[in-house]
Amino acid sequence: MAEAAINASDDLWQAIRREARRAAAADPLFGKALAGAILTHDDFVAALADLIGRRLGSGAERARFASFSRDAFHREPDLIESASRDLAAIARRDPAVTGLLPPLLHYKGYIALQAWRVSHWLWRHDHRDAALLFQNEASNVLQVSIHPAASIGSAVYLDHATGIVIGANVVIGDDVTILQNVSIGRSSELPARSPRIGRGVYIGAGASILGDISIGDSAKIGAGTVVTGDVPAGCTAVGNPARLTNCPESASAA
């Protein structure tokens, strides 16, 4: 698995470098920024760690965030594989994107998710204070707050991202898209358990998903929807309180 992750990230890195060289040739002024962010780095690990440092801190703080990130990526190569899949997912799903370089450099949702991946690694290795520092700075600077104790799959896209809040122990599967101002977490009622989001789920802007509930694979949550009960696979939930529509026959029968 580790070797496959390294190979996949290297292929993506070479594609990013090709885009960066073309962009630098087309715009020499922008090329100066690209040189520091992309072209001076040897691999995707170094570039991504540096970008996380740049976005979360300055001076000594920038170096510290970058160092934590490099350490996590080197110790667990699957983190870089997930970061590669996240970036490729944006290029596939966002019709406004023409390559890998723009979301890598400019999409704060992407960097916020990768900062969370580092914080989650720190949390799992009992570096709790450092993990919470990552969460706090991502919340302050990027307006995205994801608790280090959450669990998130790969090929995940935080679109626009401002105002996204994901609480502790939330579970999110692969291939999920989440728009801005979404809240996913515990309800005020007991038992205080967190939602579980299946694979391929789409969550519209301003939605709230709260409590000990499951959102099935490929479900869709409409903008502004408040979900406090299970949503079967393939269904669409809309409104406040949420009501189900467009369910597959199998879900309706269940």
Q: Where in the chain does DSSP place strands (E)?
A: 144-146, 151-152, 157-158, 164-166, 171-172, 177-178, 183-185, 196-197, 202-203, 208-210, 214-215, 220-221, 226-227, 236-238, 243-245
Would you state the pLDDT for residue 29? 85
**Tens digit of pLDDT for each residue in 196-246?**
999 999 999 999 999 999 999 999 999 999 999 999 999 999 999 999 999
Banded model confidence at residue 36, pLDDT cuts 50, 70, 90 = confident
For helices 108-124 and 60-75, angle between their N-to-C axes, nearest 10 degrees: 70
Cross-strand partners of 151: 171
**Tens digit of pLDDT for each residue in 45-100?**
999 999 999 999 988 899 999 999 999 999 999 999 999 999 999 999 999 998 99
- The pTM of this model reads 0.93
Banded model confidence at residue 250, pLDDT cuts 50, 70, 90 = low
Percent of the chain with pLDDT over 70: 94
Task: Report helix, strand and coil shares of the chain as percent, to nearest 5.
Answer: 50, 15, 35
| 3-state secondary structure at position 153 | coil
Is pLDDT above 70 for 5?
no
The mean pLDDT value of the chain amounts to 93
Count other C-beta atoms under 10 Å from residue 222's C-beta. 20
**Tens digit of pLDDT for each residue in 103-130?**
999 999 999 999 999 999 999 999 999 9
